[in-house]
Amino acid sequence: MFIEAFGTDAFVLITAFLLFSGIVAAKFSSRWGLPALILFMIVGMIIGSDGLGIIYFDDAGVAQLFGVFALVLILFEGGLHTKWATVRSVAVPSLSLATIGVVLTSTLIGAAAFLLLDLSLMEGLLLGAIVGSTDAAAVFSVLKERNIKAKMGATLEAESGTNDPMAVFLTLSFIELISNEGSSIWMLIPTFFLQMGLGLVLGVLFGWTASFSINRIRLGSSALYPILSIAFALLTYGITAFVGGSGFLAVYIAALVIGNRELTYRYSIFQFNEGFAWMAQILMFIILGLLVFPDQLFSSEVMYDGIILSLLLIFVARPAAVFLSLIRLNYTFKEKLFISWAGLRGAVPIVLATFPVVDGLNNSQTLFNIVFFIVLTSALIQGSTISWMADRLNLVGPKKDTPHHSIELISMGKVAVEMIQYQTSQESAVVGSRLRDLSFPNHANINAIIRDNHVITPYGETEIKAGDFLYILVESKYKDQVTKELERKVTPKKTGSES
């Protein structure tokens, strides 16, 4: 193949080509309304051995390793952007979907696979476990640019961020039951609670330690803080998995803790992690596309079985799991229907499908091909129609108000200076005030105001309006004082009867 013929230089060239291909695919995915993961995987299949033959790749172990590494980065980035105030209101239903929902989905699809395919009961349940969870990478990327109501978006993001541990546990458990006839499912129950408990506790511990370290350690360059955050993400997964906990759960919880605390160089950390997660996502899906052989994937047998299971998953198993998991949890019929439709499958099922292949189980290649086909159809059918479904069910939220601009700061070495970005609202006490009237410390200055996508040069008489994006340069030690002033709310006026 190309790499074998030209060596290391070819590997560098191919990596550049893959990244460029991924960026182009992401651009067209947003234009066509398709999830980017579909185009990423198609790129992998095209340049693979059954396509142009540029790269021959069939090492499930390497794909699994890279997939786990990428999922850690994607979960970490998703957790950083998740607001606890929003998630807290949907914590119970999200956890119900992430546990009961995954078990119900896995059981229904597993039973169907056992009845329809030439698989044993345990092999059928293994397939069900692999596709039982929604995918964080797919859900985060699809919902990011959609104007879905906050409650729906928070529920789906929290579910996808926390249901991977259940799918991983079920998958590894059924592999153990198939490989070791002496194993009992009852012996695995204590392991589940141990994994989830350690994941939760260590996630909180590492999240607090990371945020404390980022704020207290003075590094020589601001560019090192985002790298420090990535190091903590990998450390959280590694140590938690090493001691027998759920590394994925720990990473998501740690990111949730970090993202909801005040951080030094917050903007740089978030932007770096978002870009790094995009790179990991592009390469992961392309590598997973390389791993599949289209002549096997699109054989009549795989397509027939895959379509039946996909339709059962989309229209039967997922809705049944959602409606049963959300009983008496204050969700309307339309909201449950939308959550059912938005249960995207993505990288996690494909990565989990490599585990039976690596372990050499019977029918492992069949399982992998069917899972890959299910992911493709789920992403294509559900992912491309989420906005349409939200509109039909009247679950479209207000347009996401984000500034189409950025302010980059040159590294200031060891000088503890930060740029705060803050958007005002109607409830902000600073709205209506002139800049000279604000109670800011002398070492804090509003350097720019973005209003209606126009830059306003601020001066003392400039009046702050609702919806303004304020960019404030402040020494780190005065950051809390400035934040407190910005977050003051308007005090309701007392009526005559109350005075």
Helix runs in 217-312, H state only: 224-242, 247-259, 266-291, 294-297, 300-312
- Lowest mean pLDDT across 181-185, 292-296, 313-317: 181-185
Looking at per-residue confidence, does 461 or 321 come out higher?
Answer: 321
Confidence of residue 147 (pLDDT cuts 50, 70, 90): low
Q: How high is the pLDDT of residue 315?
A: 93
Q: What is the pLDDT of residues 319-348, one digit of tens each?
A: 999 999 999 888 889 999 999 998 888 778
Residues 6+ apart with CB under 8 A from 160: 78, 133, 134, 135, 136, 138, 139, 140, 344
State mean pLDDT over 411-427: 68
Phi-psi label, residue 247: left if phi above 0, alpha if psi -120 to 50, beta otherwise: alpha
Q: How high is the pLDDT of residue 189?
A: 77
* Three state DSSP letters for 340-364: HHCCCCCHHHHHHHHHHHHHCCCCH
Nearest alpha-carbon partner for 396 in 335, 343, 340, 344: 335
The burial class, CB within 10 Å (0-12 / 13-18 / 19+), for 115 is exposed
Contact 316, 116 (CB under 8 A): no
- Cα separation, 108 vs 95, in Å, equals 19
Neighbours of 318 (CB within 10 A): 28
Q: How high is the pLDDT of residue 472?
A: 84
Q: Is the pLDDT of residue 412 over 80?
A: no
Nearest alpha-carbon partner for 107 in 185, 31, 47, 197: 185
- Lowest mean pLDDT across 45-59, 152-166, 195-209: 45-59
Per-residue burial over 336-345, b if 16 or more Cβ lie within 10 Å, else e, is bbbbbbbbbb
Residues 6+ apart with CB under 8 A from 392: none
> For 181, which DSSP code?
T
Average pLDDT, the chain: 81
- Cα separation, 93 vs 98, in Å, equals 8
Neighbours of 221 (CB within 10 A): 11
Q: What is the pLDDT of residues 10-23, one digit of tens each?
A: 778 877 877 887 77
What's the token pair of residue 432? 């209506």
- Cα separation, 55 vs 21, in Å, equals 15
Q: How high is the pLDDT of residue 29?
A: 66
Q: How high is the pLDDT of residue 498?
A: 45
Q: Is the pLDDT of residue 406 over 50?
A: no
Q: What is the pLDDT of residues 440-455, one digit of tens each?
A: 777 778 888 888 878 8
- Cα separation, 151 vs 132, in Å, equals 23
Give me the residues paired with residue 454 across strands.
Answer: 451
- Cα separation, 322 vs 331, in Å, equals 10
Residues 6+ apart with CB under 8 A from 291: 44, 57, 58, 59, 60, 63, 354, 368
- Cα separation, 292 vs 279, in Å, equals 21
Contact 355, 171 (CB under 8 A): yes
Q: What is the pLDDT of residues 211-231, one digit of tens each?
A: 999 888 887 777 888 999 999
Nearest alpha-carbon partner for 130 in 109, 100, 101: 109
Q: How high is the pLDDT of residue 192?
A: 82
Give pTM, 2 decimals. 0.76
- Cα separation, 259 vs 261, in Å, equals 6
- Cα separation, 88 vs 107, in Å, equals 29
